[in-house]
Amino acid sequence: MSDIACHCGRRGALFAKNDGSLKLVRWHHCREHLDKERVALAGLVDSTIPPSMPEIFRDTDVTRLHPNIQKALDWKPQGDVSGLLLHGTTGIGKTRGIWAIICRLWAEEALKDKQLNFQFLTMRKLETTIESGFKDQKHGTAIDQLISLPFLILDDFGKERLTQRMASDLFAIIDERSTARRATIISTNFNGSTLLERFDPRDKETGVALIRRLKDYYRMVGAGA
Ligand SMILES: [Zn+2]
């Protein structure tokens, strides 16, 4: 997408195509100088959904999510509490809730003509990212990138048992992101004590320290089935 500037020097306003493609379009005038009718005639609307959002999550009816998940949808990082942890059994709508939060934040940024800089990673994808960093001998770079992302989402934490490498890498990511107050959302099917069991017995100390960080720096939202 080219970076079109208005005659006043500001960036052109950001919109989305109204044809279901979610494709982003930069208008040739800034939000102050644009002609709303012409924008509408061009088939453009405010962008409310990130183009990278999987289609199956786009039709979420938030009133059908577990009440506790619904209460968490207004989440935003606040001071030291820069994270959100959604825990509970499968089917209560954790992933759908996360996407609803992403969409809310995305829409807020889009009205400021910015694209929310976020990365949504399943634990499987996180593992692949870390492993491929090892193969290319760019492990430190891969971890640093995950630490410096403005907004990181880790879906289904603990789904796979954590190898020693994953345990220490995850601790580094969560610890450093918390210290730097970077927004992070984690979902998991486990609670504090069952999550600890996902760590290798040799990594119990790392597991305890990691769960401590979550308790200190994350808003915890739990929901039973
Ligand atoms: Zn302008």
Tens of pLDDT, residues 174-217: 999 999 999 999 999 998 788 999 999 999 999 999 999 999 99
Under 8 Å between Cβ of 102 and 118:
yes
Mean pLDDT, all residues of the chain: 92
Distance 28 CA to ligand 1 centre (A): 9
pLDDT attached to residue 183: 97
pLDDT attached to residue 3: 67
Distance 13 CA to ligand 1 centre (A): 9
Distance 11 CA to ligand 1 centre (A): 8
DSSP H or E stretch at residue 115: none
- What's the Cα-to-Cα distance from 33 to each of 18, 22, 42, 85, rounded to whole Å? 21, 24, 16, 41
Torsion of CA 96, 101, 107, 112, to 10 degrees: -160
Supply the pTM of this predicted model: 0.92
pLDDT attached to residue 9: 93
CA distance linking residue 27 with residue 37, whole number of Å:
13
- What's the Cα-to-Cα distance from 39 to each of 7, 194, 217, rounded to whole Å? 17, 52, 42
- 6 backbone dihedrals φ, ψ, rounded to 5°: -75, 165
Distance 151 CA to ligand 1 centre (A): 29
Tens of pLDDT, residues 54-99: 999 998 999 999 999 999 999 999 999 999 999 999 889 999 999 9
Distance 38 CA to ligand 1 centre (A): 15
- Under 8 Å CB-to-CB from 129, ≥6 apart: which residues? 121, 142, 146
Distance 23 CA to ligand 1 centre (A): 22
Distance 8 CA to ligand 1 centre (A): 4
Give the least confident one: 58-62, 144-148, 158-162.
158-162
Distance 115 CA to ligand 1 centre (A): 19
Distance 12 CA to ligand 1 centre (A): 7
Which sequence spans correspond to the domains of the chain?
Answer: 1-47, 55-223
136 band by pLDDT with thresholds 50, 70 and 90: confident
Distance 39 CA to ligand 1 centre (A): 14
Distance 117 CA to ligand 1 centre (A): 24
Distance 5 CA to ligand 1 centre (A): 8
CATH second-level architecture of 55-223?
3-Layer(aba) Sandwich (3.40)
Q: Which two tokens stand for residue 15?
A: 């919109």
- For residue 149, pLDDT over 80 is answered with yes
Under 8 Å between Cβ of 24 and 16:
yes
52 band by pLDDT with thresholds 50, 70 and 90: very high
- What's the Cα-to-Cα distance from 41 to each of 15, 17, 35, 82, rounded to whole Å? 13, 11, 10, 41
Tens of pLDDT, residues 2-24: 567 899 999 999 999 999 899 99
